[in-house]
Amino acid sequence: RALTRHLRDRGAMRVGIFSNSNLSREEMVVRVRKTAPMSGAFLAEDVSTKKTYVVKPPQGVPTHFKVAAIDLGIKGATPKYMARLGIEVHVMPATSTFEEVKSIKPDGVFLSNGPGDPAAMVDVIALVRSVLTEGIPFFGICFGHQILGRALGFDTYKLPFGHRGINQPVVDLTTGKVEITAHNHGFAVAAPKANEFNTVYGTGRVTHISLNDSVVEGLEMNNTPAFSVQYHPESAAGPHDSTYLFERFLNLMQKPQLDFKAAN
């Protein structure tokens, strides 16, 4: 209980668990403090694929689109889910350049979940800005959502308590519908929730917020074909309230030049 109260008042922090140690309490604290903090951490490259691989639609499902999926720590279920919708998914390394992405002539770009501090992902942020400039349909989830936020010019920040688990309530500000969603993130996007925002890529808005702490959980652009969510719509096992977002991505690739709302 004392530990719970300590974390409640001070937020998530680094910890050390020692067993049969001859270290003094002071030496233990020194060791814990030497561990790398999450702020500024560049971790995606460690968990990303080293070479591009392709996930094709299963037999009997026609291929409608080709998507470049930038792997920042992608889950296996994600490209498989998109493939079932008729998308040929090219899963590419986190270090991929915009020229490498364009070389496969994708109909859309997907930015996956992954670990680390979004502020450290300078090259991927630049990649997303090039995607937005070219008007290529874009969908980001979790880490990809945070990177879209930074590409649009917003700050990101570390949450005092990260969102973890498969029962996180999120409200769609357009419909008022509450979705139960799967979360695993310790950072968030500092975008204005009350009104539409202006960026160099046009206007946009916050689409979803957390009902627990009002954290921004979704972004969309009004005239640029791009949107993102902070949670995992393809969670397995987990809730399936938000799998419709992949179909929204399909619609966006069908109508990339239309207003985003018209593509829903």
- Which of 131, 129, 133 is closest to 121 using CA atoms? 129
Catalytic residue, candidates 88, 217, 220, 234:
234
Q: In this structure, what is the dihedral angle of CA atoms 224, 230, 234, 237, given to the nearest 10 degrees?
A: 180
Let me know: does 72 contact 145? Beta carbons within 8 Å. Answer: no
Kindly provide the residue ranges of all beta strands, DSSP E only, lying in the chain, ordered along the sequence. Answer: 53-55, 65-70, 87-92, 108-111, 138-141, 156-172, 178-189, 197-199, 202-210, 216-221, 226-229
- Which of 194, 85, 176 is closest to 139 using CA atoms? 85
- Measured distance CA(134)–CA(109) in Å, rounded: 11
Residue 106 one-letter amino acid: P
HSE on the CB side for 230, CA within 13 Å?
A: 35
HSE on the CB side for 202, CA within 13 Å?
A: 15
Catalytic residue, candidates 45, 88, 90, 142:
142
- Measured distance CA(20)–CA(110) in Å, rounded: 47
- Measured distance CA(169)–CA(230) in Å, rounded: 12
Q: Is 232 a catalytic residue?
A: yes
- Which of 91, 116, 88 is closest to 101 using CA atoms? 91
Question: What residues are annotated to the active site?
Answer: 142, 232, 234
